[in-house]
Amino acid sequence: GSVIGILGGGQLGRMLSVAASRLGYKTHIYEPGANPPAADVAHAVTTAPYEDAAALRAFAGAVDVITYEFENIPTSALDLLESLKPIRPNRRALAASQDRLVEKAFLNDLGLATAPFAAVDDLEDLREALAEIGTPAILKTRRFGYDGKGQVLIESTDQAEAALAELNGAPAILEGFVDFFKEISVIGARGLDGSISCYDPGQNKHEGGILRTTTVPAAITDMQRTDAVLLAAKILTKLDYVGVMGVELFVTRDQLIVNEIAPRVHNTGHWTQAGCTVDQFEQHIRAITGWTLGDGARYADVEMTNLIGEDVERVPQLARESRNQIHLYGKAEVKPGRKMGHVNHVF
Ligand code: ATP
Ligand code: MG
Ligand code: MG
């Protein structure tokens, strides 16, 4: 049996470990923080910072292939690991998704539409960007943002200075506000042999920047569905990608606009656990270990709801209702905005 190394020990690493275990693999988690959710179900855990070269070397020595559950791994750690074991998805996928500016330029080069954007390093940049893009607009940190963190909505130009101050001098990007009808995402996978399998797009609802629900099927036309899948396939192929990727899209009156890409299993793909024979976690493990990709056909309508913070108190009630598949991440401490678990309701 081979060992799969996973960088990051959150709930995604936990669910990847369960899927790996089912296919006969062991997982080894590398996570700087204490008591990560993945530690309960992984076969080995290294608790060390990404700057610890000796720990990284030992980790690489103990595994056969390295993957990750979050995209903000320091470059120096990746350089070292890559010299020792294959990293899948590859570095190009990480480079294209770690920085919102690089990401949008990459997508535009591929011929895909994004929100209008401009790099913002100081107030002068921001004033110029606002003059060009207009309001409303969203100022976002280029790196490290998730769950809507590191973002400020700018409704009029006189808010520029305050918005910039909120980001504490971090390199930023200004994005034009996209007036979308709905948000959807494609969870796509590409195998070592270059074959591609995409799940049916899900429709996503966010509250306060955090994903609340994903529903399949999405209320989109056949043409939009086909366009979304082809667009995801184009990204996967261009990056010579191996593994599962999440592609977040805005649906507007006349086009699909790419919001962002995530080079990993994705919260909006959790519905596949209840809607498909092979879910996104198994699909990712299959891809990075060189298996044939599994059948991603959807055989049920599903609504996935995140259990955020105190929502977790609803679990006893949710467990009494039929057609609910409940997932809890084993996090001891409940915090506002913290993803504690999710429920897949099958229709
Ligand atoms: P994630 O947890 O998905 O990684 P994130 O912190 O990277 O989130 P984004 O995906 O950039 O944040 O934005 C979160 C949500 O805010 C989007 O799903 C969308 O609802 C809204 N949003 C972000 N950018 C724009 C935009 N340019 N126009 C309109 N709405 C936007
Ligand atoms: Mg993001
Ligand atoms: Mg997002």
Q: Is the pLDDT of residue 247 over 70?
A: yes
Asked if the structure places residue 315 within a domain, the reply is: yes
Phi, psi for 33 (deg, rounded to 5): -80, 160
Of 135, 153, 176, which residue constitutes the final position of a domain? Answer: 176
Residue 279 alpha carbon to ligand 1 centre in Å? 25
Neighbouring CB atoms inside 10 A of 162's CB total 10
Strand 196-198 and strand 182-190: the pairing is: antiparallel
In a domain, 312, yes or no: yes
What is residue 88's predicted lDDT score, i.e. its pLDDT?
A: 98
CATH of the domain at 133: 3.30.1490.20
Helix (H, G, I), strand (E, B) or coil at 62: helix
pLDDT on residue 50: 97
Cα(80) to centroid(ligand 1), Å: 32
Dihedral pair phi/psi, residue 298, rounded to 5°: -90, 125
Note the pLDDT of residue 130: 97
CATH of the domain at 83: 3.40.50.20
Please tell me the distance from the alpha carbon of residue 232 to that of residue 292, in angstroms, as a whole number: 19
Atom 20 in ligand 1: residue holding the nearest Cα:
206
What residues have their beta carbon closer than 5 A to ion ligand 3? 248
Domain that holds residue 122: 116-176
pLDDT digits (tens, 9 = 90+) for 327-337: 999 998 999 99
Ligand 1: atom nearest CA of 149 is 6
Spell out which residues line ligand 1, taking CB within 6 angstroms.
115, 138, 145-149, 175, 177-178, 183, 206, 209, 248, 259-260
- Tell me the HSE value of 86 on the side-chain side, using a 13 A CA sphere: 14
Same domain, 256 and 120: no
Give 259 Cα–ligand 1 centroid separation in angstroms.
7
What is the band of 1 on the pLDDT scale with cuts at 50, 70, 90?
Answer: low
Type and span of the H or E element at 13: helix 11-22
Distance CA 39, CA 17 (A): 9
Whether residue 46 is predicted with pLDDT greater than 70 in this model: the reply is yes
Distance 344 CA to ligand 2 centre (A): 22
Question: Which three-class secondary structure state does DSSP give residue 148?
Answer: coil
Residue 137 alpha carbon, nearest atom of ligand 1: 27
Q: How many domains does the chain fold into?
A: 3
The contacts of residue 336 (CB under 8 Å, 6+ apart) are 309, 310
Q: Judging by DSSP bridges, how do beta strands 210-216 and 196-198 pair with one another?
A: unpaired
Task: Please indicate, yes or no, whether residues 171 and 197 belong to a single structural domain of this protein.
Answer: no
Residues 6+ away with beta carbon under 8 Å from 259: 114, 115, 178, 183, 248, 249, 250
**Same domain, residue pair 41 and 126:** no
Give the Cβ contact number of residue 95 at 10 Å: 17
Shortest-distance atom of ligand 1 to CA 140: 11
Looking at the CA of residue 150, tell me the nearest atom of ligand 1. 6
User: Which positions make up the binding site?
Assistant: 100, 140, 145-151, 175-178, 183, 206, 259-260
Which residues are part of a known binding site for ATP? 100, 140, 145-151, 175-178, 183, 206, 259-260
* 50 and 143 together in one domain: no
Segment 239-266 mean pLDDT: 97
What one-character-per-residue DSSP string does 278-317 give?
S-HHHHHHHHHTTPPP----B-S-EEEEEEEGGGGGGHHH
Residue 80 lies in a domain: yes
Q: Assess whether 165 and 188 both reside in one domain.
A: no
Q: Mean pLDDT across the stretch 29-55?
A: 97
Q: Which residues make up the environment of ion ligand 2, defined by Cβ < 5 Å? A: 260
Do 161 and 189 fall within a single domain? Answer: no
Mutate to test the pocket of ligand 1, among 144, 149, 213, 259 (most ligand atoms within 8 A of CB): 259
Domain co-membership, 154 together with 238? no
- Could you tell me if 157 and 287 lie in one domain? no
Q: Is 100 domain-assigned?
A: no
290 plus 314 within the same structural domain: yes
Q: Is residue 97 part of a domain?
A: no
What's the pTM value of the predicted model, to 2 decimals?
0.97
pLDDT tens readout for residues 62-118: 999 999 999 999 999 999 999 999 999 999 999 999 999 999 999 999 999 999 999
Same domain, yes or no: 160 and 201: no
Average pLDDT, stretch 185-192? 98
Residue 103 lies in a domain: no
Residue 157's CB is within 10 A of a number of other CB atoms, namely 14
